[in-house]
Chain A
Amino acid sequence: MTINNILVVGVGGQGTLITSRILGNLAMSLGHDVKLSEVHGMAQRGGSVVTHIRYGEKVYSPLVEIGQADIIVSFEKLEALRWKHFLREDGIMLVNTQEIDPMPVIIGTSTYPEDIILKLEEECKNVISIDALSRAKELGNIKVANTVLLGLLAKNMSIPKENWIEIIKTTVPEKTIEINVAAFESGYTA
């Protein structure tokens, strides 16, 4: 009985929740049992956030355990380092190169770690980084950066591309379907 374990991490406000829900609904539409665990309330205010997504034949716990994640999608570089220990040995780390300074860095009591991608590559077998923010800017709306990341995630999963595009079309506001599909393609072909 294989359970797929995905962690979506980032900074509160980046849209990790929406991305997770898209994946959760997609997995359900394909006939899987699904559980998602989300973060609401205080932690959403610019804090480190994580959503757990698990699907398969029968899912009990809503939480991905340390060392269990098949894929981690990190919306922010430092957060990839923070949650890295949840990845299983041959899991895939997908990381957006965007940097958001946490408050201890902003006020100078701490420094933003250097060479994060190198550090990730030293410790994870599969690291794929992407500048989703620049890609979104090029498409004309920085808000679709999370859809770029969704495209990258889709590329690294076994669910057919058409299913992803279909669920994006039914999830995002109608006016933004075109740009979201373009953003998905951008991540998918990265």
Chain B
Amino acid sequence: MMNKKLMLGNEAVARGAYEAGVTVAVAYPGTPSTEITEFIAEYDEIYAEWGPNEKVAMEVAIGSAIAGARTLVSMKHVGLNVAADPLFTVSYTGINGGLVIMVADDPGMHSSQNEQDSRYYAKAAHIPMLEPSDSQETKEFVKKAFEISEQYDTPVMVRLTTRVSHSQSIVALEERENINLREYQKDFMKNVMMPGMARLKHVVVEKRMKDIAAASNTMIMNTIEIKSTKIGVITSGVPYQYVKESLPEASILKLGIVHPLPRKLIEDFAKKVEVLYIIEELEPIIEDEVKSWGIDCIGKDILTVQGEYSANLISERIGEQDLHLSQPKSLPQRPPVMCPGCPHRGVYYILNKLKKHASGDIGCYTLGALPPLQGMDTCVCMGASISMLHGMEKARGKEFVKDWVAVIGDSTFVHSGITGLVDIVYNKGASTVMILDNSTTGMTGHQDNPATGLTLKGEATSVLNLVELTKSVGIKRVRVVNPFNLKEVEEAVKEETAALEPSVIIASAACELLDKKRVRIPFFIDEAVCKKCGMCMKLGCPAIQKKDGNYQINDAICSGCTLCSSVCKFGAISKVGENHDN
């Protein structure tokens, strides 16, 4: 009997890599791609590591592939921006051992700062791209991607979206293929991309893409289901599933390869149906190309380029059904919040108290931008907090940035904050940078990074010393504070922002969720002492609530972090079991 397992799309990628004989896997965490590499790390047969950022991860993967190993590198859509430089040129060099690049898009922006469509990268970099629609296909397509990679000497991209990465469906498990390392031979005409070689390789790239385009017409990842010829749909990825639910009578061409497109297959399908719809989330990439061939089709005229699709949406827009869907009530929203006990909370409380602006960055601490802390003015991309603050200083002068700090997490600082700090020193800036060091990559679910002392495989390793690092780039004013000691944080922020030279404050305390076994003794508010001044509420702690006019601490979620008791001027908040008879 075949062994089957309910798997996340991301776990299916890992399984596919395992079965394809991959021996090296690299990534930087990013929702919704993170679990791919965590699952891969569970296989002893595969070496897996977190790179400090996606560019490094991509380069490690290219090196590994050129050295002859089947290699998988994974990232989220915006991570591909960081890795775009090597991406465009590995398209020219080609590979040796197969190289598959997993990229996870996030339509609807469940956990992202933009909604870019990675298929544009495949087109722009002249790299073939596959797109699966569930976990079983994901596993199969990853294996297929390695075959195409080695057959055509090209990296191959596989595009996932949140609903593939983070949906579970049943996967049939197969044996691992034993793939030997391919022999490495020095070949500078292939692997050294200087203008003379690159001009020759560009010719090879164009021919390769033409060959793959021709072959794509018969690739088994593309499937045709002919039913009624009144409606034909070309789709790929998870929208295929919505089409199957909403248009059961439609004929469907499901594309497994989304770049290059199988032109003949599409042309033949288009001829068979009366009305042709292209159903793709985000950008009209298939649609634009199909229209450029002179084929009539309907797509973004009636479907949006924003957010996720659904079976209901397709039923209404194409099935012309009026579903009379009831709408959600207008209710208090429940945005994500910093957890009770989060070490970032105290830092934002102080920034708020001192009326400091913050140039922000990507991580859990981005949540400090929301009320009531509202401690962030800007947030663009990984690492931008530091360089953007420097730009502000150069635009408006040192006096202006005395009211500002940059806030960046430890993992994000290592990812792409260091170069910004070098820039501040080099170009004589005076900005203050706060590194919120919670000893983990928090938002993506606690991955280790160079500053934590552990590898992805859980082995002890050298710890990147953030104090020594920031000093070594030329920052003279570096200090470490405990973010639960509000007085210490306040003094540091006041002094460092006032200084006329660049400074770094490292607020160091581990993420509350890291140590699950720690005994947490909750705090409580003594109603007899409480003056109802509301100071504790300014922390924005989800454990403190106002019920029937009284402030209360929810003991089911209080972590006992002490912050609320240290902001209470009346001593009304204390640990359960302390300063009290019961």
Are B339's CB and A13's CB within 8 A? yes
Are A41's CB and B4's CB within 8 A? no
Are A35's CB and B134's CB within 8 A? yes
Are A41's CB and B110's CB within 8 A? yes
List 12 A-B residue pairs with CB atoms under 8 Å apart, sorted by A's residue number: A35-B167, A36-B6, A38-B166, A40-B32, A40-B445, A41-B32, A42-B111, A42-B336, A103-B371, A104-B332, A106-B540, A113-B332
**From residue 104 to 128 of chain A, which have CB atoms closer than 8 A to chain B?**
104-113
Is A101 located at the chain interface by the 8 A CB criterion?
yes
Contact residues of B: prevailing secondary structure: loop
Assembly CA distance A186 to B238 (angstroms): 39
Are A46's CB and B540's CB within 8 A? no
B110, B331, B338, B554 — most chain A CB neighbours (10 Å): B331
Is B168 located at the chain interface by the 8 A CB criterion?
yes
Pick the contact of B169 from A35, A81, A102, A105 — CB < 8 Å? Answer: A35
Are A102's CB and B6's CB within 8 A? no
Is B337 located at the chain interface by the 8 A CB criterion?
yes
Are A103's CB and B540's CB within 8 A? yes
* Residues of A close to B327: CB separation below 8 A: 85
Assembly CA distance A99 to B244 (angstroms): 39
Q: Which residues of B contact A (CB under 8 A)?
A: 4, 6, 8, 31-32, 34-35, 110-111, 134, 163, 166-170, 238, 240-242, 244-245, 310-312, 323, 325-329, 331-339, 364, 367, 370-372, 443-445, 537, 540-542, 544-546, 554, 556-557
Given A48-B333, A82-B328, A103-B372, 5 further pairs, Cβ under 8 A: A34-B6, A37-B168, A61-B241, A61-B310, A107-B371
Which of A62-70, A156-164, A175-183 forms contacts with chain B?
A62-70
Are B169's CB and A59's CB within 8 A? yes
- Contacts A47-B335, A102-B333: A107 and B540 contacting too (C-beta < 8 A)? yes
Pick the contact of A12 from B134, B331, B336 — CB < 8 Å? Answer: B336
Is A171 located at the chain interface by the 8 A CB criterion?
no
Identify the closest chain B residue to A142 (Cβ): B556
Pick the contact of B371 from A21, A43, A109 — CB < 8 Å? Answer: A109
**From residue 1 to 43 of chain A, which have CB atoms closer than 8 A to chain B?**
11-13, 21, 24-25, 28, 33-43
Are A33's CB and B170's CB within 8 A? yes
B163, B168, B170, B339 — most chain A CB neighbours (10 Å): B168
Interchain residue pairs A-B with the least CB separation, the first 8: A41-B111, A41-B31, A47-B336, A102-B334, A62-B167, A110-B332, A45-B336, A60-B244
* Residues of A close to B554: CB separation below 8 A: 100
Pick the contact of B537 from A47, A78, A107, A133 — CB < 8 Å? Answer: A107
Assembly CA distance A104 to B336 (angstroms): 11
**Least Cβ distance of B310 to chain A in Å?**
6
Identify the closest chain B residue to A103 (Cβ): B337
Assembly CA distance A138 to B111 (angstroms): 37
**Least Cβ distance of B518 to chain A in Å?**
15
Assembly CA distance A46 to B311 (angstroms): 28
Pick the contact of B337 from A35, A45, A78 — CB < 8 Å? Answer: A45
Assembly CA distance A107 to B85 (angstroms): 45
Assembly CA distance A81 to B4 (angstroms): 37
Are B329's CB and A24's CB within 8 A? no
Q: Which residues of A contact B (CB under 8 A)?
A: 11-13, 21, 24-25, 28, 33-48, 59-63, 65-67, 78-79, 81-85, 100-113, 133, 142
* Residues of A close to B372: CB separation below 8 A: 103, 106-107
* Residues of A close to B443: CB separation below 8 A: 41-42, 45
Are B311's CB and A34's CB within 8 A? no
Assembly CA distance A108 to B547 (angstroms): 11
Are B334's CB and A106's CB within 8 A? no
Assembly CA distance A48 to B371 (angstroms): 17
Assembly CA distance A11 to B245 (angstroms): 29
Are B244's CB and A82's CB within 8 A? no
Assembly CA distance A59 to B241 (angstroms): 9
Are A34's CB and B168's CB within 8 A? yes
* Residues of A close to B333: CB separation below 8 A: 48, 102, 104, 110
Identify the closest chain B residue to A145 (Cβ): B556
**Least Cβ distance of B436 to chain A in Å?**
15
Assembly CA distance A72 to B192 (angstroms): 58
Are B542's CB and A46's CB within 8 A? yes
Assembly CA distance A144 to B444 (angstroms): 25
**Least Cβ distance of B370 to chain A in Å?**
7
Assembly CA distance A25 to B238 (angstroms): 22
Identify the closest chain A residue to B329 (Cβ): A81
* Residues of B close to A35: CB separation below 8 A: 134, 167-169
* Residues of B close to A61: CB separation below 8 A: 238, 241-242, 244-245, 310-311
Are B310's CB and A42's CB within 8 A? no
* Residues of B close to A82: CB separation below 8 A: 328-329, 331, 334
Identify the closest chain A residue to B552 (Cβ): A101
Are A46's CB and B339's CB within 8 A? yes
Are A108's CB and B546's CB within 8 A? yes
* Residues of B close to A43: CB separation below 8 A: 110-111, 336
Assembly CA distance A40 to B35 (angstroms): 10
Assembly CA distance A83 to B325 (angstroms): 13
* Residues of A close to B336: CB separation below 8 A: 12, 42-47
Assembly CA distance A42 to B442 (angstroms): 10
* Residues of A close to B245: CB separation below 8 A: 60-61, 65
